[in-house]
C-alpha cells in the first residue's frame, strides 16, 4: 500500500473537465437510465419478494431484513462519511479539471476502506450471521473484501458523472442477484443462506463497473494509499456527514426490524419488513431523481453556481408531482391486494404499508434538497436535520410501542420524515436569508468575486498545495 501523491497538479492522464452543458446532459442521461433501472428492479423485486414471503414465512422473511439492516448500519458506521466526502470533493475537483486531486482522494479512500471498513463489517458478519463456514468465507471474501478493494469504482464513475453507466451496470447486477436469491431460497429455505447469496453476488457490481472508469482514476482505485493527507476540510465535512448518514439510516432504513427482533417479536418484524419494502418499492421511481443529482449539482456549483436556483426549483416540482401521483395511484391498490398476493400470514401488513407510504412520500418530496445542501459541504446542517428526526422517532417509539405494538414501530416514521423535510425547507429558507441562495438563484459568496466566465477560466488553473473546493 503506497502513500499516494502529495502535490496535486496536472498529469499526463488528466481527465477533461466538464462544463455546465456536459454536466446537465450527463445528469439527464443518468436520471433516464436510473429511472429505467428502478422500474425494472421494482418489478423484479416484487416478484422475488412474493416468492421469499411464501417460501420463508413471516419469521424468516424478517430475519433476512434483520441481517440486511444490521450489516448495512455497521458499514455506514465504519465508513464515517468517507463515501460522501469522496464524491463531493472528487466531483468538484473533476469539474474544475484537477485530475491529480481526484486520483489522490480515490487512492487514499481505498486505503481507508481496506484498513477500517472491511475489518469492521467482517467482524459484524461473524458475530450475527449463522451459516456454513464455506458460505461464510464466500460472503466475507467476495461480499466484503472484494467489494472493499474495488469500492472506489462506483465512486469514480459518480465523480465523472457517469451515473447512466452506473444504472446500466446495476440492472445487470440486480438481475444476477435476484436469480441467486431465488435459487438459494428454493434450495435451502434458510434466511441466512438467502442473505449470503445476495451479498456475494451483489459484489460483482464493482468488478463489472471497473472497465468504464477513466484510466487515470482506475489506476488510483487499484493502488490504495495510506488514508492520510486528504484535501483541506475533507474530514471536517465527512465526519458530521457520516454521523448524519448513520442517523438517517436509523430513520429511513428498517431499523425497526432490529428492535422488534431484539425484543423477541419476530412475527411483527416480518410484517414490518414487508410493509417497509413495499413502501420503498412504490416510491423508488421518485427517488431515482436523487442519485444522479448529487454529482451533477456538486459539479454545477463548481463551474456555474448562478444556475443552481433554477435547478432547485425544477427538481422540486418534478419530485413533488411524481410523489403525489404515486400516493394517489399506488398505495391504496397495493394495500388491498397484499393479502391475495402474499398470503393470509402477511395480512396485518396492509394498513402499515399505507402509513409508511405516506411518510415515504413526504420524505421523497424533499429528498432533492439534500443534494443541494451536500453540494455546499454543509455536513453539519444535514447532521442537525437527521438528529432532530431521530429524536422525534425515538420519543414516539418509546411512547407508542407499549400501547400500539407494531404500530408503535411504524407510526413514528411519518412524523420523523416530516420533521426532516420541514427542517430541510427551513434550512433552505435560512440560507436564502443569510445570502447564500437568493430568489435569483445566485450564490454570492461563491460567485461574487468573478462572473461565471471568469470563474470558469479560474477553475482551470493548476490547484495549489492543500487544495480544497471553493467555500460557500
Chain mean pLDDT for the chain:
75
What does the pLDDT look like over 342-381, one tens digit per residue?
A: 878 788 788 888 888 887 788 777 777 777 777 776 667 6
Banded model confidence at residue 9, pLDDT cuts 50, 70, 90: very low
For residues 274 and 285, what is the distance between their CA atoms, to the nearest angstrom? Answer: 19
Q: How many residues belong to the chain? A: 472
pLDDT of residue 415 exceeding 80:
no
Say if residues 223 and 107 touch (Cβ distance below 8 Å).
yes
Predicted TM-score (pTM) of the model is 0.63
Higher pLDDT, 334 or 376: 334
Of 469 and 237, the one with more pLDDT = 237
All three cell numbers of 234: 475533507
**Which among 60, 59, 49, 64 is positioned nearest to 341, based on CA atoms?**
49
Residue with the larger pLDDT of the pair 247 and 186: 186
pLDDT score of 293: 65
Q: Where are the alpha helices (DSSP H) in 139-233?
A: 147-149, 152-159, 163-188, 191-202, 204-209, 215-222
pLDDT(288) > 70: no
- Per-residue pLDDT of 128-174, as tens digits, reads 877 778 888 888 888 889 989 998 898 899 888 888 888 888 888 98
**pLDDT, tens digit (0-9, with 9 covering 90-100), for 292-327:** 666 667 677 766 677 777 777 887 887 788 888 888
Q: Where are the alpha helices (DSSP H) in 80-162?
A: 82-95, 99-112, 118-128, 133-138, 147-149, 152-159
Neighbours of 292 (CB within 10 A): 27
Reply yes or no on whether the pLDDT at 449 is more than 50: no
Provide mean pLDDT across the span 213-224.
92
Q: What average pLDDT does the segment 439-448 reach?
A: 36
Alpha carbon distance 339, 348 (integer Å): 8
**387-401 pLDDT per residue, tens:** 777 777 777 766 665
Q: Residue 434: how many CB atoms within 10 A of its CB?
A: 9
> Percentage of residues in the chain with pLDDT exceeding 70?
69
Q: Where are the alpha helices (DSSP H) in 327-378?
A: 332-342, 350-366, 368-375
Amino acid at each position: 500500500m503506497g502513500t499516494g501523491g502529495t502535490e496535486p497538479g496536472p498529469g499526463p492522464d488528466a481527465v477533461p473537465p466538464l462544463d455546465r452543458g456536459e454536466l446537465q446532459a450527463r445528469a439527464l442521461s443518468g436520471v433516464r437510465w436510473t429511472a429505467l433501472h428502478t422500474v425494472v428492479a421494482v418489478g423484479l423485486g416484487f416478484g422475488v419478494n412474493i416468492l421469499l414471503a411464501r417460501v420463508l414465512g413471516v419469521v424468516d422473511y424478517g430475519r433476512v431484513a434483520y441481517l440486511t439492516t444490521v450489516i448495512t448500519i455497521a458499514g455506514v458506521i465504519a465508513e464515517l462519511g468517507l463515501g460522501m466526502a469522496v464524491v463531493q470533493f472528487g466531483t468538484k475537483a473533476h469539474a474544475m479539471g484537477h485530475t491529480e486531486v481526484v486520483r489522490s482522494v480515490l487512492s487514499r479512500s481505498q486505503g481507508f476502506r481496506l484498513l477500517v471498513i472491511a475489518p469492521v463489517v467482517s467482524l459484524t458478519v461473524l458475530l450475527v450471521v449463522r451459516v456454513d463456514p464455506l458460505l461464510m468465507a464466500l460472503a466475507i471474501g467476495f461480499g466484503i473484501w472484494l467489494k472493499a478493494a474495488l469500492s472506489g469504482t462506483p465512486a469514480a464513475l459518480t465523480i465523472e458523472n457517469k451515473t447512466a453507466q452506473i444504472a446500466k451496470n446495476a440492472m445487470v447486477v440486480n438481475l444476477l442477484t435476484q436469480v441467486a436469491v431465488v435459487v438459494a431460497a428454493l434450495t435451502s429455505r434458510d434466511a441466512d443462506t438467502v442473505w449470503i447469496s445476495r451479498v456475494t453476488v451483489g459484489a460483482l457490481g464493482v468488478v463489472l463497473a471497473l472497465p468504464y472508469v477513466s484510466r487515470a482514476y482506475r489506476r488510483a482505485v487499484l493502488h490504495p494509499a495510506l488514508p492520510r493527507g486528504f484535501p483541506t476540510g475533507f474530514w471536517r465535512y465527512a465526519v458530521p456527514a457520516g454521523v448524519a448518514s448513520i442517523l438517517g439510516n436509523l430513520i429511513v432504513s428498517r431499523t425497526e426490524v432490529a428492535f422488534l427482533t431484539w425484543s423477541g417479536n419476530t412475527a411483527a418484524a416480518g410484517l414490518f419488513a414487508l410493509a417497509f419494502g413495499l413502501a420503498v418499492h412504490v416510491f423508488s421511481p421518485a427517488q431515482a431523481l436523487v442519485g444522479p443529482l448529487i454529482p451533477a449539482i456538486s459539479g454545477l456549483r463548481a463551474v456555474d453556481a448562478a444556475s443552481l436556483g433554477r435547478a432547485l426549483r425544477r427538481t422540486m416540482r418534478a419530485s413533488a408531482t411524481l410523489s403525489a401521483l404515486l400516493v394517489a395511484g399506488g398505495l391504496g391498490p397495493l394495500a388491498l391486494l397484499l393479502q391475495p398476493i402474499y398470503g393470509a400470514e402477511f395480512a396485518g401488513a396492509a394498513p402499515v404499508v399505507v402509513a409508511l407510504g405516506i411518510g415515504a412520500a413526504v420524505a421523497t418530496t424533499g429528498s432533492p434538497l439534500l443534494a443541494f445542501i451536500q453540494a455546499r459541504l454543509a455536513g453539519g446542517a444535514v447532521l442537525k436535520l437527521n438528529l432532530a428526526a431521530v429524536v422525534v422517532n425515538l420519543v414516539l417509539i418509546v411512547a407508542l410501542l407499549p400501547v400500539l405494538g407494531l404500530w408503535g414501530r411504524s407510526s413514528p416514521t411519518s412524523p420523523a420524515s416530516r420533521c426532516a423535510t420541514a427542517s430541510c425547507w427551513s434550512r433552505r429558507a435560512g440560507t436564502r436569508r443569510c445570502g447564500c441562495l437568493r430568489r435569483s438563484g445566485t450564490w454570492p459568496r461563491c460567485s461574487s468575486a468573478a462572473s461565471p466566465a471568469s470563474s470558469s477560466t479560474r477553475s482551470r488553473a493548476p490547484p495549489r498545495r492543500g487544495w480544497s473546493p471553493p467555500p460557500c
